[in-house]
Amino acid sequence: MAQDEIVERNVFKVRVFIDAWRAIDPDVAMACLSDDIVYINQPLEPVVGQQNVRKIVAGIMQLSHRVHWELRNCFGRGNTVVTEITHPGAGTAARAWYSEGAQLDDADRRAGPRPWAGCRGRGGAYPQWSWRSASH
């Protein structure tokens, strides 16, 4: 597969993951993640594995009337994809931005360490998010 095709495939997969949140569809979101996914939302302890992360993702989605992320930028190089996302909020709701990197494996699922780059909102910093594979 040519380099451009790899990047296109991986950017598409990240967009599918974001769209799954908009659709409040945990099945599609989880299909985008590796079996040994590690979900980190600091200051909480990391959550490891599809089954455990699914509980978190499905729980958040179940409590959500709507999830709206504005994807500002999405680009990649090889198996790394970087996103810039805004959570616009409404009224007194949280308004935040962050950029995140995702490392995708050959099965087109999120894997590999990519640190969270930054997130600030009204009143200070928000919890940090990072997705990585436990095997890395």
Cis peptide before 43 (omega within 30 of 0): yes
pLDDT digits (tens, 9 = 90+) for 42-59: 677 888 888 998 999 999
Start-to-end CA distance of the chain, whole Å, equals 24
pTM of the model: 0.69
Contact (CB, 8 A) for 79 and 2: no
pLDDT digits (tens, 9 = 90+) for 79-95: 778 888 777 665 444 44
Which residues on neighbouring strands pair with residue 73, listed in sequence order?
A: 84
Task: Find the domain containing 7 and state its range.
Answer: 3-133
Q: Which two tokens stand for residue 28?
A: 């599609």
Q: Which two tokens stand for residue 49?
A: 């594995």
Kindly report the CATH number assigned to the domain that includes residue 67.
3.10.450.50
| Count of structural domains, the chain | 1
